Structure 1
Amino acid sequence: PVPANGDDKRYPDPADQCLTLPEKRDLYLAWAKQQFPDWEPGINGHGPTRDEALWFASSTGGIGRYRIPGTQQMMSTMRLDGSTGGWGYYNLPPAAVWGGKYPRWEGTPEENTLMMRTVCQFFGYSSIGVMPITSNTKKLFFEKQIPFQFTPGDPGVFGGTGNVQFDVPLPKTPVPIVWEEVDKGYYNDQKIVIPNKANWVLTMTMPLPEDRFKRSLGWSCDASSMIAYPQVAFNGGRVQTFLKALGYQGLGGDMAMWGPGGAFGVMSGLSEQGRVANEISPKYGSATKGSNRLVCDLPMVPTKPIDAGIHKFCETCGICTTVCPSNAIQVGPPQWSNNRWDNTPGYLGYRLNWGRCVICTNCETYCPFFNMTNGSLIHNVVRSTVAATPVFN
């Protein structure tokens, strides 16, 4: 027990030892400035603008930092924490939180692209791409979307809409996605608005636990597959918060936003479409989930589509069709027909019969491009030559 008189030096008086948070901050900053005179502490002492933004984004989801530091909110709302005054009811940018002194980051498109690639990998994404929004690539966007997918309390995520209060009445049917000459993205019960200045889509894929994934059994996705979905939601929210802290918008933030994820991944050079209607990466194979996507007004350098021979290889491979328990995978060459109401029309490629899919992982784990360190049927050397060697096709 602690002595009542306080004489035992093993238990010093807390008043002699503890520092207040401002005292701790000032003590460290004084030391840091002495050691590194050119270091810029930023508004809160975490470093220059990008370091401050990374701290703010990294703390999102932690204890007491679900949204604004010191305020607790449902974790399910975190992924919507994106734009500078954008969707959801958290419209308070860091500039307001920190007394209006927070500087907007200004960098070249090349610097911004490298920065976002580094930040996304820091948060756990495997590959990052950038697709420019043009009159042609706008065709990849849904014509309409249901606004609740941009607001806290998505009915499909962690508890439903009963946990939150929406900014505006939400229709139960989709409303048009439109582009307008506005500063900030917004939604209402009539439309979902993207600013014309938001000219880039940032795409990101999430790696899967390879060893567990390779040995997974059971229907409705193994744990090694399911873990990617909350990670995408949470880490997408952190990337959005990073952009917001820099003074930019990241609109969307999940697998269900804006349009088919595979289309954005292919057009930003992350992957090619495989026979299972999934994305297959030259580097990570089929062992990824994505693509998560954010519509951004941060200038970045587009990453071009690739031709690694994967899509062509799938034409003559077909292993996935032999291990599918429900015959849900398309047999034969790529088609224009979408066959089912829940498949995306308008492109020549492969489609999955989602109504028959038992949601196992066979098609991905048996894929020759599944990226296991030592266990892939097509190892790294062969994988890199598939596109150029006719025998493999």
Structure 2
Amino acid sequence: MSAAATVFHDLDEVTSSTLGINKNPWWVKERDFKNPTVPIDWSKVTRQSGVFQGLPRPTVADFTKAGVVGGTSTDLETPEMALTLYDAMAKEFPGWTPGYAGMGDTRTTALCNASKFMMFGAWPGNMEMGGKRVNVIGAIMAAGGSPTFTPWLGPQLDTTTRPQDFGAPVWQGTPEENLKTCRSAFRFFGGSDVGAIEIDDDVLKFIHSQIGGKAVVVEDVEEAYETATKMVIPRKCKWILMWSARQSLEATRRQAGITESHAVWYSYSRFPKVGAQFQEFIRGLGYQALNPGMMGFLANPLAALAGMGEHGRMSSPTITPKYGTTNRAMWALITDLPLLPTPPIDFGAYKFCKTCGICADSCPFNLIQKGDPTWENPASAKSGIQQGTFEGWRTNTADCPHCPTCQGTCPFNSKPDSFLHAVVKGTVANTPLLNSFFTNMEKAMDYGRKDPEEWWDMDDFTYGIDTSY
């Protein structure tokens, strides 16, 4: 690839370019379709079942028996891992203590727990209603419902009308107009950027063959449907719409303790609602939008193919040119609304990760792959991650407790109001010659993680999101 920015030869090329959809910085370059910065061997990629091995969740009794605080706040870490995290946090932030639940002081613990309400779109368990304790999810499941409000076909509320049901024409826009329409709607609901991919046999490989034990199949039907055994994609639903949503940068940099913090939990509480509302919006235009859910697709390759960002060393989070890894949603919807495909982009992240490694060095459990990108990483194979399909990095997610460390360390998380970081990003995008120097500068100037206590004295933005960029 050329080190120069994208070159336009005439006005038609300018108007057909998708770079302006998400208002990416000038140093972001477009690549050919299906040719992201991470090399892919399409012949080796196959559809996966979507079942990946992870750590078994410990019980409260496990923690109590070990004499470790944590209780119901535990995520996937074992008591032994919790002690490792407590020690690492205390060394990184002198004076930090795990508190009564392993997440820090009482107010941080309170904020974390409050942020978990209806996380992942899940109905609550026991909650106060009219002076009674009601098991909401139990009642919904007993009535034949699902555990979340994010179904395959969308909520399809009685209040969401479709034009064709009233003899009116469906919305008609060009693929570019439709993509911009989606961007505007997503940003109104609380999302950030959008991208689109036209589905072919290769792209379909990144949609899992099963979701929740049901087969995901493509059929020659007009309307999508779901049965007890399968979820059906109409062949006319030819586009994947990728969308992202940000989590608080400052809170992300200040996560500490037994698990991820309010920055993560509140994002998981908000963003399923964004997706459900968008499904209703597409239905209101007269089209279909199918939600494979968080566990129904591989986000990193689809995001790279749709030009949302680049594959990086952390492997699961997509590195984006504006927000680094501070995206909590990088989700997909399948639709029959015609969309302008957005090609992969290059802003130097994949190349920078080759010489950086800050996130890998920060991992208390040494689970993030170090060194150059490879076609295989045996340490990650036991999780079910395919080997030999791409030349990149694969985190050992089978042993990852989802601790709060790595996400806040990425140098690409920096704000654009920093002149120095703007110069660095522009340079990194065009030449890798100074990458090692910039990595050392990042370490020396300590731009990454910050003391959690500082957050309470900050005058942060609403939702912790600076919408000026």
TM range (shorter): 0.5 to 0.7
Q: Any idea what the Cα deviations from partners look like across 1:152-182, whole Å, max 9, x if unmatched?
A: xxxxxxxxxxxxxxxxxxxxxx343221110
Between the aligned partners of 2:147 and 2:414, the Cα distance in structure 1 is 31
Letter matched to residue 267 of structure 1: L
Q: SS of 1:105's equivalent?
A: coil
Does residue 405 of structure 2 align to residue 366 of structure 1?
no
> 2:382–2:398: 8 Å Cα contact kept in structure 1?
no
> Partner of 2:233 in structure 1?
194
Q: SS of 1:254's equivalent?
A: coil
Between the aligned partners of 1:206 and 1:263, the Cα distance in structure 2 is 17
> 2:190–2:271: 8 Å Cα contact kept in structure 1?
no
Does residue 184 of structure 2 align to residue 118 of structure 1?
yes
Q: Any idea what the Cα deviations from partners look like across 1:247-284, whole Å, max 9, x if unmatched?
A: 11110163223x11111111100011110112000111
Letter matched to residue 392 of structure 1: L
Does residue 166 of structure 2 align to residue 100 of structure 1?
yes
Between the aligned partners of 1:343 and 1:319, the Cα distance in structure 2 is 25
Moved more, 269-278 or 344-353: 344-353
Q: Any idea what the Cα deviations from partners look like across 1:183-213, whole Å, max 9, x if unmatched?
A: 1112223332100000111111111111222
Q: Any idea what the Cα deviations from partners look like across 1:307-342, whole Å, max 9, x if unmatched?
A: 221011111111111111111101122222253232
> Partner of 1:79 in structure 2?
150
Moved more, 221-230 or 91-100: 91-100
Letter matched to residue 325 of structure 1: P
> Partner of 1:263 in structure 2?
301
Does residue 387 of structure 2 align to residue 341 of structure 1?
no
Structure 2 regions of 5+ residues with no counterpart?
1-122, 124-144, 436-469
Go from structure 1 to structure 2 and tell me whether the alpha carbon gap of 1:87 and 1:366 turns closer, same or farther (over 3 Å shift).
closer
Q: Any idea what the Cα deviations from partners look like across 1:24-59, whole Å, max 9, x if unmatched?
A: xxxxxxxxxxxxxxxxxxxxxxxxxxxxxxxxxxxx
> Partner of 2:175 in structure 1?
109
Letter matched to residue 307 of structure 2: G
Between the aligned partners of 2:397 and 2:165, the Cα distance in structure 1 is 50
Between the aligned partners of 1:96 and 1:322, the Cα distance in structure 2 is 52
Letter matched to residue 198 of structure 1: C
Q: Any idea what the Cα deviations from partners look like across 1:201-227, whole Å, max 9, x if unmatched?
A: 111111111122222212321111222
Between the aligned partners of 1:387 and 1:177, the Cα distance in structure 2 is 38
Post-superposition offset of 1:122: 1.2
- Normalising by structure 1, report the TM-score: 0.67
Q: SS of 1:202's equivalent?
A: strand
Q: Any idea what the Cα deviations from partners look like across 1:104-149, whole Å, max 9, x if unmatched?
A: 2111111111100111111111211111101221122212222xxx
Aligned match for 1:379, one of 421, 434, 437? 421
> Partner of 2:359 in structure 1?
320
Between the aligned partners of 2:160 and 2:401, the Cα distance in structure 1 is 44
Structure 1 regions of 5+ residues with no counterpart?
1-60, 62-73, 147-173
> 1:197–1:297: 8 Å Cα contact kept in structure 2?
yes
> Partner of 2:206 in structure 1?
140
Structure ranking higher on relative contact order (CA contacts 8 Å, 6+ apart): 2
Q: SS of 1:390's equivalent?
A: coil
> 1:145–1:175: 8 Å Cα contact kept in structure 2?
yes
Does residue 289 of structure 2 align to residue 250 of structure 1?
yes
Post-superposition offset of 1:364: 1.7
The aligned length equals: 288
Letter matched to residue 206 of structure 2: L
> Partner of 1:294 in structure 2?
333
Aligned match for 1:390, one of 419, 432, 436? 432
Q: Any idea what the Cα deviations from partners look like across 1:369-391, whole Å, max 9, x if unmatched?
A: 11345679x71232132121232
> Partner of 1:236 in structure 2?
275
Post-superposition offset of 1:231: 1.8
Q: SS of 2:390's equivalent?
A: coil
Between the aligned partners of 2:150 and 2:224, the Cα distance in structure 1 is 16
Between the aligned partners of 1:91 and 1:188, the Cα distance in structure 2 is 19
Post-superposition offset of 1:359: 1.8
Post-superposition offset of 1:92: 5.7
Between the aligned partners of 1:185 and 1:219, the Cα distance in structure 2 is 42
Go from structure 1 to structure 2 and tell me whether the alpha carbon gap of 1:108 and 1:98 turns closer, same or farther (over 3 Å shift).
closer
Letter matched to residue 381 of structure 1: V
Post-superposition offset of 1:357: 2.1
Between the aligned partners of 2:375 and 2:149, the Cα distance in structure 1 is 38
Moved more, 219-228 or 297-306: 219-228
Q: SS of 1:239's equivalent?
A: helix
Letter matched to residue 140 of structure 1: F
> Partner of 1:149 in structure 2?
none
Post-superposition offset of 1:242: 0.3
> Partner of 1:181 in structure 2?
220
Letter matched to residue 232 of structure 2: V
Aligned-pair RMSD on alpha carbons? 2.8
- Normalising by structure 2, report the TM-score: 0.57
Between the aligned partners of 1:356 and 1:106, the Cα distance in structure 2 is 48
> 1:237–1:253: 8 Å Cα contact kept in structure 2?
no
> 1:202–1:296: 8 Å Cα contact kept in structure 2?
yes
Moved more, 316-325 or 361-370: 361-370
Post-superposition offset of 1:95: 4.0
Between the aligned partners of 1:184 and 1:254, the Cα distance in structure 2 is 19
> 1:222–1:360: 8 Å Cα contact kept in structure 2?
no
What percent identity do the matched residue pairs reach?
33
